[in-house]
Chain A
């Protein structure tokens, strides 16, 4: 199989250079573009598997470009931005992006995210759609297989303990709903909850280490501080 082709778009040439080098080390074929229009043109000509695009660019900004591209293509798009506000992230994701990385970022993290997106796109793209009707709960790159009692993260199975699986199962069955630690404990351990915050938190952290790329900045399993825990519903 060919190496996946990635297009990196940013008006800062040094950033594009660094990203290109780093991704090439991972055996990807990387192309560069320096504004939105150029990226659009490039996408017309070449078959590209993944797009990394900056928001603030001359000629055409990243958000409008994303919107335009989404009209014809469903390749994964990762947005890079110096804007760190929650609202900016939500805006970016609602424009059709698959992921949002705020600048400055660690290159390793970017690589992990690229891998994750590509895996989902290339290996599972069609598969997910077919198997959706079976006993599976799908949320973004997470697939919970209730028959096999296992979880797939971007297509790769992840080892979970029984308790971790139960917690994840509970949260994934109720996407977006916030559970307090007491509630989780009573449902999973099936015992009366008393001073269980720490226990639950420890398990949540372990699950995160297994399913999240950046544990400090989780995408799926979120802590709602002072209230409880929830599984973020992905588009």
Chain B
């Protein structure tokens, strides 16, 4: 009960932990996914950027915004930095983009464009001004209409390669992303000759940018914190799982199967899981590093990082589960002291060694008392095996020096094959005969005692088959004799009883007629009375004798029915009321059993109870009581009849059961001594047992039957 409760508790705990871990994993994956969902593109690496690059980032975003609105740059390449749409609009209130561009449409005259974008009249005093100057690389060749010869580089997104950039207003290099369409635009058929873009920020704007930056940072930090906490939960859960598995008292089928796997495989699995996990984290780390070092392909790289994080959260539960199972089975093996046995290099070879030792011992034993041909077989088998072992050894050696050992291998192989062919032919013949012999044994054991097998004379199994046939024939003969004896016995009983009954019928008839004769003297009448009584007794004895003989010969058929022991006793007592009254005994009957049903033959069981009661009435001391009780235990049901004998019982329990044994040695009184024997035989015929015990003057009869199990019947 207690262990069952524990088992269930463990099971529930494991279930809960697994559910928590899966939920955490899914939640973590969603959180990581959010990283990419935040308005604007944000990555872990954005946090590490310096303040300076923050401004160039903002400038880039503003230039893109301007370019997309005024110059018709496609939206797909729009760069927004860490900002969202709303935030960028806010920034534009305190910032301005001033561009002065010299543009050369292909095959047309050069034109100059001057544009401003954003809050022109704001106070930029004390703010920040940054700018970039772009100039066409004159070393690049240009067609007569003004387009570039090498358009291939254009498609690669390498338009920047045709230009030289220099920053104005700031000491350090300003790295700003310039939309490519601004430089060379194949759709509009124009290019940029040179130009200057200046971006100004007011003080308020700078503060705003810093605030956004911090907000983003906080947001990111929160996500990462959550991720770390979730990862922690995963790790803790895995440890918990390992502990819970280790606490399990009995192994589930799953674990029992796992325990049988070589431990090396488990160890390898642990290693590979660890390597996989390590690789995953390393990959995440590597990609994030790479992103921070090259801000060129920001969008792409950050997506990769996030994907990796999502994957890692999905994969962690699996890795942890495998790890937990492996650790668990290892712990279990150590606990069971079976770790070495289940390893391949130690346990398997030890098992192999033990088996081969056992086989050798068996062979030795077989050799010590078997016949010559069996010895031969074992020897032959050994030869082949040895050759094959050497062959295997050589073949292992032959791997580096194939040319030399190859010849040896071939010769050995041929030898082995030749031996095997020769022996196997011999075996096949013997095997065939052996099968015939086995078939003969099977048939004999199935009752066909005279079964024969056609094994050719002179082969090794011929003699055995002959001996077996002799045994079978002998048994058949004995069986027939026994059956004939049994039949004779029953016939004898029937005939003798018939031969006894016929004259007795005449005697009874004539004694009766004699009694009806009115001319008889009173004396003769007394004699007839005695004759009447004695013939009656003789009749009973013959009947009893016949019944007993039949019961013990096993010829009697019993008709088993469900009976009630209590009812049987009550009926018998009521039936015998007159006799009991005449004998002057008091019978104390009590039933201590609740379920008193058993299987018996109704007529035989009546005889049993009647005989036992008659016996008790006959041999009890006057004035004593006869106790009749019915008891039960979970399996059986028994009836006890206890009486006090009127004489000293100078015999044993066994003696009284012998036929014709009588309570007194002198055989004068009524009864023929067959009563208890009949009761005993009948009880046994019905499947019960009959026991007599004597203690001082107490004579106790116990009749035991198996209870009918009600549950079984249902």
- Which residues of A pack against B, CB within 8 Å? 12, 14-15, 17-19, 21-22, 25, 56, 82-84, 86, 103-108, 180-181, 197-198, 200-202, 205, 223-228
Tell me if B93 counts as interface (CB < 8 A to partner A): no
Chain A hits for B609, CB < 8 A = 225
Bound form: Cα–Cα A142–B546 in Å: 33
Q: Which of B106-114, B441-449, B598-606 contacts A (4 or more CB under 8 A)?
A: B598-606
Binds A, one of B266-274, B561-569, B647-655: B561-569
Chain A residue at minimum C-beta to C-beta distance from B606: A225
- Cβ contacts A to B, 17 pairs, < 8 Å: A12-B505, A14-B509, A15-B505, A15-B509, A18-B506, A22-B509, A82-B501, A83-B498, A103-B502, A104-B505, A104-B508, A198-B577, A201-B571, A201-B577, A225-B602, A225-B603, A227-B561
Query: Do the beta carbons of B509 and A205 come within 8 Å of each other?
Result: no
For window 556-613 of B, CB contacts with A under 8 Å fall at: 561-565, 567-568, 570-575, 577, 600, 602-603, 605-606, 609
Does residue B516 face the partner (Cβ distance < 8 Å to A)?
yes
Residue from the list A18, A108, A181, A226 in contact with B600, Cβ < 8 A: A226
In the complex, the chain A residue whose C-beta lies closest to that of B536 is A106
Q: How far is the CB of B578 from chain A (nearest CB, A)?
A: 9
Q: Are A107's CB and B574's CB within 8 A?
A: no
Q: Name A56's closest neighbour in chain B (CB-CB).
A: B498
Interface string of B157-174 (1 = CB under 8 A from A): 000000000000000000
Decide: B505 and A181 in contact? CB cutoff 8 A: no
Name which residue of chain B comes closest to A201, CB basis.
B574
Q: Which one, A12, A106, A108, contacts B506 given CB within 8 A?
A: A12
A197–B570 CB distance below 8 A: yes
Contact yes or no, B512 A107, CB < 8 A: yes
Asked if residues B564 and A226 are in contact (CB atoms below 8 Å), the reply is yes
Partner of A198, one of B512, B543, B573: B573
Asked whether, in the complex, the Cβ of A180 is within 8 Å of the Cβ of B567, the reply is yes
Min CB–CB distance B496 → chain A (angstroms) = 11
> Does B140 count as interface, using CB distance less than 8 angstroms?
no
Question: Residue B502 contacts which of A12, A19, A205 (CB distance < 8 angstroms)?
Answer: A12
Contact of A22 among B497, B507, B512, B543 (CB under 8 A): B512
Structural contact, A103 and B574, CB atoms closer than 8 A: no
How far, in whole Å, are A162 and B516 apart by their CA atoms in the complex? 38
Q: CB-nearest residue of chain A relative to B512?
A: A107
Q: Is there contact, CB below 8 Å, between A202 and B602?
A: no
Within 8 A of A (CB), among B394-450: none
B357-401 toward A: CB 8 Å interface, digit per residue (1/0)?
000000000000000000000000000000000000000000000
Residue on A with the closest CB to B573? A198
Residues on B lying within 8 angstroms of A by beta carbon are 494, 497-498, 501-502, 504-510, 512-513, 516, 535, 539, 543, 546, 561-565, 567-568, 570-575, 577, 600, 602-603, 605-606, 609
Considering only CB atoms, which chain A residue lies closest to B542 in the complex?
A104
CA–CA, A135 and B564, complex, Å? 36
Looking at A105, A197, A198, A202, the one whose CB has the most chain B CB atoms below 10 A away is A197
Task: Provide the residues of chain B in CB contact with A17, threshold 8 Å.
Answer: 509
* Given known A21-B513, A226-B602, contact A105–B505 (CB-CB < 8 A): yes
What residues on A are CB-neighbors of B574 within 8 Å?
197-198, 200-202, 205
Contact of A225 with B501 in the complex, beta carbons under 8 Å: no
**Beyond A104-B507, A181-B567: 5 further Cβ-contacts under 8 Å?**
A22-B512, A197-B571, A225-B606, A226-B606, A227-B561
Q: Is the CB of A225 within 8 A of B571?
A: yes
Residues in B neighbouring A12, C-beta threshold 8 A? 502, 505-506
Taken together as a complex, chains A and B put the C-alpha atoms of A22 and B515 apart, in Å, by 11
* B513 partner residues in chain A, CB cutoff 8 A: 18, 21-22, 107
Q: Write out the residue numbers on chain A whose beta carbons fall within 8 Å of the beta carbon of B502.
A: 12, 15, 82, 103
> Quick one: which of A22, A82, A223 has the most chain B CB within 10 A?
A82
Q: Within 8 Å CB of A198, what residues of B?
A: 570, 573-574, 577
Given the complex, which residues of B lie within 8 Å of A103, measured CB to CB? 501-502, 504-505
- Which of A15, A22, A107, A226 is packed against the most chain B CB atoms within 10 Å? A226
In the complex, what's the smallest C-beta–C-beta distance from B502 to chain A, in angstroms?
6
- Asked if B563 and A225 sit within 8 Å, CB to CB, the answer is yes
Are B512 and A106 in contact (CB-based, < 8 A)? yes
Q: Decide if B497 touches A82 in the complex (CB within 8 Å).
A: yes
Distance in Å: Cβ of A147 to nearest Cβ of chain B: 33
Write out the residue numbers on chain A whose beta carbons fall within 8 Å of the beta carbon of B498. 56, 82-83
Q: Which residues of A contact B510 (CB under 8 A)?
A: 14, 18
Which chain B residues lie closer than 8 Å to A56 at the CB level? 498
Q: Which residues of B lie under 8 Å from residue A22 when comparing CB positions?
A: 509, 512-513, 516
Contact of B546 among A21, A84, A86, A108 (CB under 8 A): A84
Chain B CB within 10 Å, residue with most, of A17, A86, A224? A224
Residues of B close to A14: CB separation below 8 A: 506, 509-510
Once the chains are docked, how many angstroms separate the CA of A198 from the CA of B543? 29
CB closest chain-B residue, reference A110:
B509
With A56-B498, A181-B567, A197-B571 known to touch, is A224 a contact of B505 (CB < 8 Å)?
Answer: no
The answer for the CA separation of A202 and B10 in the assembled complex, in Å, is 68
Candidates B504, B506, B605; contact of A226 at CB < 8 Å: B605
B41 → chain A closest CB, angstroms: 95
- Chain A residues lying within 8 Å of B600, measured Cβ to Cβ, are 226
Residues of B within 8 A of A202 (CB): 574, 577
Q: What 8 A-B pairs are tightest by C-beta distance, nearest first?
A: A18-B509, A201-B574, A226-B568, A226-B563, A197-B570, A225-B606, A14-B506, A107-B512
B564 touches A227 (CB 8 A): yes
Nearest chain B CB to A73 CB, angstrom units: 26
Question: Shortest distance in angstroms between A50's beta carbon and chain B's nearest beta carbon?
Answer: 18
